[in-house]
Structure 1
């Protein structure tokens, strides 16, 4: 099927990255298979993470179908684009339909992108993973591909204004080796192993990240354990229960 929407959107995104002068460091794209299904799994710190996750697959000439909340598909601007790119809407009240859609895509040889934290991490640390990605990989008989992104929160994240000016912001993308998902293993155990891989890559991406706060007012994007002023996971949980 011709990609009449996806490829032009990719071209536009690349143009915008140049205009914004983003310093993108992407490593490990060779771990994404050139053919066949796979579940791409990433941490989630920004509204734009799916764009950069998809960028990592382009050297392998692959397009990723991301699972995203159904409300994005109803938006007057993003909706037609998401449908045109054949991403997968997720209605949490009817999650089985999205699961079957993703499973069919994997069995047809597509790469499906999943954010197993389900929501953006406002502490910019790794939250617990839901087991859906592992179960999809098991049932479809495809590998899981762990990923980590860092720096994307400085562009646009929950609770902070967008920063789409020429900002020279570094963005780090790491793609890890495939994690197999045998059917005879417990999905929870696979999920824990997958999360460990993503955590290791995230730690490495943070250590190698060239960007530093530009002053006392620019520490919001750093997690507390790295000396930043982002809320701790405990503070986020407390605010969510109020």
Structure 2
């Protein structure tokens, strides 16, 4: 079935990016396969991460089907759009249904987008990974493509107001070489390898990021270990 909704949504997003005057630094998009199934795995620091993760797949002319919490699909505006773009609702109390849906999509040659931290990281550091991405890749016999986003938290993240003004925010995206899990490799080992790759890409994105806080009051988006005022991982966990 043709994608009638997804391409116009992408066009709208690109127009919006221009209106916000976002500055992109994207590297590694050649690692996203041009055909066949794959699991695209990213860190999660913003409500808008799915938009930017999907953007990284456009040079390969691929559309990403994201796994997202089912409440997004129940919303009167986002729900119809999410279903029309063939994203996958996840009911955390009945996750196997979403898993089977994603597995079928991977076997049919789709790219599935996963945020294995499950929720936004308030500390902007990498949280522990759930094993779902590794399980899917192993069972579907497809690669996992790690990537990292940085700067997206400045637009809209948990605990902070949206900032959609023309602030010339930079957004840095790094995509890494595919991770190929072995069929008999323990899933927790695959998950550990995947997390290490995303962590390395996140640090690379942070090093390359040109933006700096305008002052102490603007350092909330910088992790504590980098001198910012974001919560530490321990503090974020209590939140």
Distance of 1:22 and 1:229 partners within structure 2: 24
1:59 paired with 2:59, answer yes
Distance of 2:97 and 2:142 partners within structure 1: 20
1:198 — aligned with what? Answer: 198
- Alignment: residue pair count: 239
| Displacement of 1:181 | 1.2
1:228 paired with 2:228, answer yes
| Displacement of 1:238 | 2.4
| Displacement of 1:165 | 1.1
Distance of 2:3 and 2:24 partners within structure 1: 25
2:92 — aligned with what? Answer: 92
**Residues 56-205 of structure 1 mapped to structure 2, 5 A cutoff:** 56-205=56-205
User: After the TM superposition, which segments of 4 or more aligned residues of structure 1 sit over 3 Å from their partners?
Assistant: none
Distance of 2:157 and 2:237 partners within structure 1: 17
Distance of 2:63 and 2:197 partners within structure 1: 23
Q: Deviations over 1:49-99 (max 9, x none)?
A: 010000000000000000000000001111111111100000001100000
Q: Which runs of 5+ in 2 are unaligned?
A: none
- Specify the SS of the correspondent of 2:39: strand
1:237 — aligned with what? Answer: 237
Distance of 1:14 and 1:127 partners within structure 2: 30
Distance of 1:40 and 1:198 partners within structure 2: 11
Distance of 1:95 and 1:135 partners within structure 2: 13
TM-score normalised by L of structure 2: 0.99
TM-score normalised by L of structure 1: 0.98
Q: Which runs of 5+ in 1 are unaligned?
A: none
1:28 — aligned with what? Answer: 28
Q: Deviations over 1:160-216 (max 9, x none)?
A: 011111110000011000000111100100100010000001001101100000112
| Displacement of 1:236 | 1.4
Distance of 2:167 and 2:72 partners within structure 1: 27
Distance of 1:52 and 1:238 partners within structure 2: 28
